[in-house]
Amino acid sequence: MKTILLKFAGPLQSWGTRSHFETRHTDLYPSKSAVIGIIAASMGFRRDDDTKIQVLNCLDFAVRIDQSGQLLRDYHTAVKYKNNGVFERTYVTNRYYLEDAVFVVAIGQKDDAFIDKIVEGLQKPYFQPFMGRRSLPPTADFFLGIYNTDVIAALSSCPWQAREAYQRSHSNRLSVYSDSDLGAEGVQSGMRKDYVISFSQENRQFGFRSELKIEVTVPKPYISTEHDAFDALGG
């Protein structure tokens, strides 16, 4: 079995599964539907390629919270015009983001050939991937690699991706949210509406997926707390 590890980091991310009209929420960690959207776009699937996209629901999925980040609200006022160009009204929108967060997402499958196709797409994407909004592209270290194990084992062995200052003040026991049918021991965290039925602009549809919360302990790198004021001078 092969598992792909992806890193989601950057100034802002947004992972909404329940946004409506002028209020655009974000969940506190990436959704499976968003990751499926990234994979589908990278492989060149169109929004209405429902059959191809639905196959991606069978991928094993888990996300590790390496750095939780903070919630940011972006306040907007917008102007709406009628089709004839006449002013109609001004309205308020609120868009929510995760600021300074880091996640590691694991995608696995027993069909190695299928995983290899996904890897090819992610490394040479047909359409630009983004982290929930088109203005939020992934970082250069987005693709962390391939592990020859299941998704939970891969997340347990992957080094902690949080920045050093965060690691100094936080525990290396990290929360993981996964598909509930992976056989891992954990606590049922509820149902999440991120099972993809269709990404079509005319009729976007999502079903519910059962999620499990588990804890994994990752290696904590040695971080020196000593400070040498003359180190920068060399010698």
Give the chain's mean pLDDT. 90
Please compute the mean of the pLDDT values over residues 123-129 and round it to a whole number.
95
C-alpha to C-alpha distance for 136 and 214, rounded to whole angstroms: 28
Q: Are 95 and 136 in contact (CB under 8 A)?
A: no
Give me the domain span that covers residue 118.
Answer: 2-69+99-233
85 belongs to a structural domain = no
Q: Are 102 and 8 in contact (CB under 8 A)?
A: yes
pLDDT per residue over 19-73, tens digit each?
766 788 899 999 999 999 999 999 999 999 999 999 999 999 999 999 999 999 9
For residue 15, what is the DSSP state? -
185 belongs to a structural domain = yes
Say whether pLDDT at 231 is over 80. Answer: no
Does 18 or 225 have the greater pLDDT score?
A: 18
91 belongs to a structural domain = no
pLDDT for 187 equals 87
**Which residues neighbour 111 within 8 Å (Cβ) at sequence distance 6 or greater?**
none
- Number of structural domains (the chain) is 1
Does 165 or 234 have the greater pLDDT score?
A: 165
pLDDT for 62 equals 97
CATH of the domain at 203: 3.30.70.2660
pLDDT for 82 equals 85
C-alpha to C-alpha distance for 38 and 99, rounded to whole angstroms: 20
Say whether pLDDT at 213 is over 80. Answer: yes
Please compute the mean of the pLDDT values over residues 100-129 and round it to a whole number.
96
The one-letter amino acid code at 15 reads W
